Amino acid sequence: MNIAYFKDMDSLYIEISPENPDHSWEAHEGIVLNLSADGRVVGIEIEKASLATNLDILKIGDFPGQIEIIDKKTSGSTH
- What are the domain boundaries of the chain? 2-54+65-70
pLDDT at 29 over 80: yes
SS3 58: helix
Instruction: Kindly report which listed range (1-10, 11-20, 57-66) carries the lowest average pLDDT score.
Output: 57-66
**Structure confidence at residue 1 (pLDDT):** 82
Tell me the mean pLDDT in the region 25-53: 94
Helical (H) or strand (E) element with 50: helix 49-52
- Give the length of the chain: 79
Binning pLDDT at 50, 70 and 90, where does residue 76 land?
A: very low
**Structure confidence at residue 46 (pLDDT):** 94
pTM given for the model: 0.74
